[in-house]
Structure 1
Amino acid sequence: MLGRVGLGGATRGTTTEIGGKARTLLATLLLQANRTVTVDRLVEALWDSEPPASAVANVRTHASALRRRLPDRTALLGGGGGYLLEVGAERCDHLVFLHRAADGRAALAAGDSARAAEQLTSALALWDGDRAAVGVPRHGPLAGWLGHLEEERMRAVEDLAGAYLRLGEPRAALRDLNALLAVSPLRDRSWALRMRAHHALGERGSLAEDYRAVVLVHRSELGVHPDRQLRRLFEELVAS
C-alpha cells in the first residue's frame, strides 16, 4: 500500500502484485481493514463516472477472484451489505506505518528524541517512494483515504527532521526536508524546520535564501505572502 499494492507471498519479503479493478478493490478494503465497506462505497471506489448496470455483480465477481488469491490468515467476508477484509494489523504496511509514526511522535512530545528518530525512521522505511497505492485510480472515497495516508507520511518526515534537530544533526534534517519541499513546496512547517537547520549550522546565507524561496513560492503558487509566523521566525533566527 505504501507504494505498490500487492499481497504478501509465502516467502518473507515477497509480494504478488494485482492489477485492474481487483487492485482497486484490495486497496479499498485494506484502507478499511477489519471494517465492513458497503457495496455502494466499493462501487464509488471502482468507477469514476456512472457505474455500469452490472456494477454490483461485478463487485461480487472481483471479490470472489480476490478471495481466491488471499494468503493464509487473511479472509474476505461478505455480508451486511458489504465486504470486510479480516487481517491482522501487523500484516498491513500502512497500519504498521501509522502505529510507528504515532509512537515516534509521542516520543518526540515526551522529549525522547532518540526513540522518536528510531521509530520515525522505521516507519518511513516502509514506504516505496512517496505515493500510496501507486496505479490505483483515486475515485470516490479513495481520494481522501489515500491523501490522508500521504499527508501522514509528510508529517512523519517533518517529525523526523524535528527529532534530528534536537539530536544535533541538522544535516540529516536538511536531507529529508529538501526532498519533501521539492515535491510539496507550500509546507510552512518544513520551511521553518529548514531555516532552523541552516541556523544551527551557522549558514546565514542559506537561511536568507530559505526565506526568499518561501516568499517566492507563496507568491507564485497562492498570490499571498507567507504566514507571519515564518517572518517572525526568520527575524528571530537572524538576530540570534
Structure 2
Amino acid sequence: MRRISAPLRREPGTPGTANTARKWTVQNMTEFRILGSLELNAAGAVHPLRGPKIGKVLALLLVHANQVVDIDTLIEELWDAEPPVTAVSTVRTHVYHLRRRLEQVLGPHEAESMLLTRPPGYLLRLREDQLDADRFARLHREGQTLLGEGRAQDAMDRLDQALGLWRGQVLADVAKGRRLSGQAARLTELRTRCLELRIDAAMRLGRHRELVPDLRDLVAAHPLNEWFHARLIVALNKAGRRGEALRAFHDLRDVLGEELGLEPSDELRRLQRDILIGAEAVPVSAPAGPPRRAARP
C-alpha cells in the first residue's frame, strides 16, 4: 500500500516535553499492529505468533479491545457456519496458547493483566495507543478537528502521522471471517477519509503541483471515486496543466460510462466548464461520500 509522498512532509509538532514523553512511551510500550500484517511488538522487537488460529483469536480480541468477546463470536470467526463439535474446547485451547505466548514475550504479570477470562468469553485489556488502529483513529480525529479550525498545516502534519502507521492491508496475513472482514472494511474506509482530509489540507496550503503524483496514484487505485478525480482535475489546472486537467475529466467520463453507465457528477461537469472558460475551478470543500453506483443496463 503506497503512502503519501515524502516531499509534502515535515516533522510533526514542535519539540517539547509532552511530545517527547508521548513518543518515548509509544516506542517503549508493548504494541499490537493490525494496519498491515498482525504484529506483537515488545522492547523494540517483533515477536511472531504460532499458528493461524491463534493469530485469528488475537486479531478478533484486538479489534474489540477492552470489550468482552464471547465464545460464540470466536467460534463464528474461526469456523463460520461449520464449527466442529469440539469448538468450545478448541477455542479455550487457542486462548491458552495465546496466553502462554504473551507470558513468554511480556512476562507472566503483564500477560495475566492483559488477557482476561470474562464470562461468557475473553477480554484483551489495552492501554491508550497500544493498538496502532486506535492511534490512527485518534490522530485522524485530531487532524479533522485542526482542519475545521483552519489550521491546515497542523492538520496535514497530524494526518501524515496517521497515514504513516499503515504498512499494508488490514490484517494482511490473517484469513479473515465475517467479523474481521467487517472491521477491516471499516478501517480501510476510515483511511480513505483520512486521505481525503489530507488532500483538502494540502490544497488549502496551495500545494497543488506537489499533489499531482499522489492524486494520479489514488485515481488509479480508486477509479470510481469521483472525489479523487475532482481533486486531480483541480490540481492539474492550478498547476498550469489545463489540457491534462481536461483529459483527466474525459478519462473519468469514459470509466464511469463503461463501468456504471453513468455520467460524471454535477460537480465534475461544473469543473470542466470552469476550466474551458478560464474561470476559477474550485471543488467543494468537504470530501464527498462513496462513489455513485448504478446497475448495468
Shared fold (TM-score greater than 0.5)?
Answer: yes
Bigger CA drift: 162-171 or 73-82?
73-82
Q: CA RMSD in A?
A: 1.7
Q: Cα offset for 1:162?
A: 1.2
Pairing of 1:192-211 with structure 2 (within 5 A) = 192-211=230-249
Q: Does 1:191 align with 2:229?
A: yes
- Runs of at least 5 residues in structure 2 that lack an aligned partner in the other structure: 1-33, 280-297
Compared CA separation, residues 178 and 15, structure 1 to 2 (3 A): farther
Deviations 1:66-114 (A, max 9, x none): 1122254451111221211101131101110111011111111211110
- SS of residue matched to 1:91: coil
Residue 27 of structure 2 corresponds to none
- SS of residue matched to 2:150: coil
Bigger CA drift: 104-113 or 180-189?
180-189
Residue 211 of structure 2 corresponds to 173
- SS of residue matched to 1:3: coil
How many Å separate the matches in 1 of 2:214 and 2:146? 19
How many Å separate the matches in 2 of 1:206 and 1:17? 48
Of residues 82, 85, 89, the one that matches 2:121 is 82
Residue 282 of structure 2 corresponds to none
Amino acid at match of 1:16: H
- Runs of at least 5 residues in structure 1 that lack an aligned partner in the other structure: none
Pairing of 1:33-182 with structure 2 (within 5 A) = 33-70=65-102, 71-72=105-106, 73=110, 75-129=114-168, 131-182=169-220
Q: Cα offset for 1:49?
A: 4.0
Amino acid at match of 1:113: A
- Aligned 8 A contact 2:209 2:238 in 1: no
How many Å separate the matches in 1 of 2:222 and 2:127? 33
How many Å separate the matches in 2 of 1:200 and 1:33? 45
How many Å separate the matches in 2 of 1:171 and 1:27? 40
Q: Cα offset for 1:204?
A: 0.8
- Post-superposition, which runs of at least 4 consecutive aligned residues in structure 1 deviate over 3 A? 71-74
How many Å separate the matches in 2 of 1:226 and 1:58? 53
- Alignment TM-score, normalising by the size of structure 1: 0.92
Of residues 223, 233, 236, the one that matches 2:271 is 233
Bigger CA drift: 39-48 or 203-212?
39-48
- SS of residue matched to 2:122: strand
- Aligned 8 A contact 1:161 1:176 in 2: no
Q: Cα offset for 1:31?
A: 0.8
Bigger CA drift: 50-59 or 220-229?
220-229
- Aligned 8 A contact 1:117 1:164 in 2: yes
Residue 5 of structure 2 corresponds to none
- Alignment TM-score, normalising by the size of structure 2: 0.75
Residue 41 of structure 2 corresponds to 8
Query: Considering only CA atoms, is the larger Rg found in Structure 1 or Structure 2?
Result: 2
- Aligned 8 A contact 1:157 1:176 in 2: no
The count of residues paired between Structure 1 and Structure 2 equals 237
- SS of residue matched to 1:28: helix
